[in-house]
């Protein structure tokens, strides 16, 4: 077994640690989408610390709350200050109100 490898190699057990020193207990597999060709789930391997930091981001939490309030649960929609659709502009303004409060 190799000593240093990628996060995937460490997660599957073919390497002991990454170049940054992460071991298997420090790594988690997260879903990043669905393949357009096969329809299978796609995954990436990230550190537990980075994943937790991304989940507690105040802006992301405010956008999620605004989406729930506006009823925009279906599909992918990004908040936009200018341009875009009216839903995107509404999402941005409501997200900013929630974020600043």
Which DSSP category does 71 fall into?
T
Pairing of strands 15-17, 27-34: unpaired
Q: What is the pLDDT of residues 26-79, one digit of tens each?
A: 999 999 888 999 999 999 999 999 999 888 899 999 999 999 999 998 778 899
| Dist CA 63 CA 97 (whole Å) | 10
**Structure-token pair, residue 16:** 């002991």
| Dist CA 64 CA 71 (whole Å) | 10
**Greatest extent of the chain over all pairs of C-alpha atoms, in Å:** 55
| Dist CA 54 CA 48 (whole Å) | 10
| Dist CA 1 CA 21 (whole Å) | 16
Q: Looking at residues 1-26, what average pLDDT do you find?
A: 93
Q: What is the pLDDT of residues 81-95, one digit of tens each?
A: 999 999 999 999 999
């Amino acid at each position: 077994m190799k000593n240093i490898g990628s996060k995937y190699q460490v997660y599957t057990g073919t390497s002991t640690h990454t170049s940054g020193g992460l071991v298997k207990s420090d790594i988690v597999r997260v879903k990043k989408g669905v393949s357009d060709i096969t329809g299978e789930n796609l995954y990436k391997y990230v550190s537990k610390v980075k994943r937790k930091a991304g989940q507690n981001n105040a802006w992301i939490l405010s956008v999620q709350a605004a989406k729930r309030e506006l009823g925009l649960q279906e599909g992918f929609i990004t908040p936009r200050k200018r341009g875009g659709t009216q839903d995107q502009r509404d999402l941005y303004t409501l997200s900013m109100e929630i974020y600043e409060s």
